[in-house]
Each structure stands twice: as structure tokens, then as C-alpha cells.
Amino acid sequence: MGKALGLLLWIITIAAVAMFAVHKWWFPPSITEHGQLVDNQFMLTLVVVAIVFVLAQVALGFVVFQFGSSRKGDATYSHGSNKLEVTWTTITAAVFVTLGILGQQVWASLHFHEAPPNALTIEVTAQQFAWNFRYAGADDTFGKLDPLQMSDSNGNPLGLDSKDPAAKDDIVTSTITVPANRPVQLILKSKDVIHSFFVPNLRFKQDLVPGMSIRVHFTPQVVGHYELACAELCGAGHYKMKSYMDVLSADDFEKWLKDKGVGK
């Protein structure tokens, strides 16, 4: 019985390690600078965790394989060893705390600095089950919003104030288009319940909370067409609250803006 259980534990360990090692199902490619750092930190953690996992499971497999009641000799009578307790406590504390400190770096770089001055600012407003993206337009100023003018059915989902001239040239889209290699600042808002902005390729996720404006920034580097998902349960249509992020080259982005009526 013990031998079989020991073998099973080892087989499960090998299967688990294999599943993480083959990368058949893995992260979609990263398209940001910080994304590469996230992936590096993930791989570092994966190596540390794999060592801990394999050592623990293999040891467990070994003791059940080895120390069954059919073996010769008596069970050892021991109440433990303070020396061993201190040793393994110190080692695990050092490893885990180091990992914890290293894991803060990307977070700090994303959240503890203001967006660079050349960043493109886009306001993201989520609602049950759609995304609205607003660009400031030619005047580079976001127009006022008036909740009383909000109406999904009349095509003014954000409630752009018709009396504010700055609102006239604001561009509102249902997918997000950004230039490559230029910092993007998002101002995240929600109209109704909590949603979450998740583009797996960005290695980035942030909740959009009604009543709050949350500013985040990142720099997409690879031109492409990427899927955007909602990652916070927001109602029955949560699973299909889908949009796209288009990353365009600088030239194409200028063209896109021009098509939207923003000439420069």
C-alpha cells in the first residue's frame, strides 16, 4: 500500500511539473515592457515553487514508500529537534520574504510613478456589458459629463454635456486604439457595478469601481489586435463583455485619429 502511494505521489508530481514545463497552454505573448518583467518574476517564482513542491512531494512519497509497517525495526521514538525547527524556519522565511520583496518591483514601477508627460490619456468607462473609450479630441480637453444626459438608447452613454464646447470634439469608441511605444494613461470609471479591465497580453488588470476614477499607465510595444475581457463578475452578461485593443504604429494611429476627425 505504502509503495503504491509513494509511486502515485511521484507520478502526480511528475505530471504536474510536466504540465507547467511544456508551455502548451501558456500566457499569450506579452506586449509591454513591464509585461516582460512580470513574466520574468513569474518564471523565478515558478522555479522556486517547483523546487519546494517537488522536494515536499518527493519526500512525502519517500516516507510512505519506505516506512510502512511491514518494514523491519521499530518506529523511532522522537519528539522532534529544535535545531531542525530553527533551520527550516529560517530557510523558508528567507526564501519566501525574498520572493515577496522581489515581487513588488513591477508593481512599484506601475503604480508609484505618475504617467510620463507624453502619455496619451484615454478615459475608460465600463457598463453592463460594454466598454466606452473616450479621447479628448483636438482640443486635448475632456468635455464635461452630465449624468442627467446619460442615455444608452440615445447614443450618449457617457452623458457628454451638450452645453460644453470642450465635449463637442470628444471621441467615444467601443474598442480601444492606442499607438505603439508611447505611454498610455487610462482613467478607469464605471457607470453601474464593478468591472475589471483585463488584456492578457498587457499583463495588466485593474478594477473599474463606480464612484472612483482610477489612473493607471503602461506602454504597449507590439502592434496588433488584442482581446479585452471583463475580469470582475458584473452580471449575467459578464462572460461576453468583450472588446478589443488595437495597437497601431505611430503613423497609423495619427491616421486613425484623422479618420475620427482629429486633424493635426
> CB of residue 101 vs another protein: minimum separation in angstroms?
7
> Pick from 21, 97, 162, 174: which binds another protein (CB under 8 A)?
97
Distance CA 145, CA 159 (A): 5
Distance CA 156, CA 1 (A): 69
Backbone angles phi, psi at 81, to 5 degrees: -145, 115
- Which residue, 179, 166, 185, is CA-closest to 251? 179
> CB of residue 234 vs another protein: minimum separation in angstroms?
7
51 vs 250 by CB, closer to another protein = 51
Distance CA 79, CA 88 (A): 16
Does 237 engage in binding with another protein (CB under 8 A)? yes
Over the window 41 to 70, marking each residue x when it contacts another protein by CB under 8 A and - when it does not, the resulting string is: xx--xx-xx--xx--xx-xx--xx--xxx-
- Which residue, 262, 264, 252, is CA-closest to 178? 252
122 vs 158 by CB, closer to another protein = 158
The residue type found at 160 is L
Q: Give CA 58 to chain center in angstroms.
A: 33
Residues in the chain: 264
Look at strands 243-248 and 224-230 and give their pairing.
antiparallel
Distances (CA, A) of 42 to 126, 203, 207, 216, 228: 29, 11, 22, 22, 22
Options 135-143, 166-174, 226-234, 253-261: segment touching another protein (CB under 8 A):
226-234
> Pick from 85, 140, 165, 174: which binds another protein (CB under 8 A)?
85
- How many residues contact another protein, by CB under 8 A? 102
Chain residues 17-36 in contact with another protein, contact rule CB under 8 A: 19-20, 25-28
119 vs 229 by CB, closer to another protein = 229
Distance CA 156, CA 173 (A): 11
> Pick from 47, 93, 181, 224: which binds another protein (CB under 8 A)?
93
Distance CA 111, CA 93 (A): 27
Alpha-helical segments (H) within 182-241: none
Does 114 engage in binding with another protein (CB under 8 A)? no
> Pick from 14, 33, 36, 99: which binds another protein (CB under 8 A)?
99
> Pick from 14, 33, 36, 103: which binds another protein (CB under 8 A)?
103
> CB of residue 97 vs another protein: minimum separation in angstroms?
6
2 vs 183 by CB, closer to another protein = 2
Does 101 engage in binding with another protein (CB under 8 A)? yes
> Pick from 7, 21, 47, 89: which binds another protein (CB under 8 A)?
89
> CB of residue 180 vs another protein: minimum separation in angstroms?
19
Over the window 131 to 150, marking each residue x when it contacts another protein by CB under 8 A and - when it does not, the resulting string is: ----------------xx-x
Is residue 247 within 8 Å of 224, Cβ to Cβ? yes
Is residue 181 within 8 Å of 167, Cβ to Cβ? no
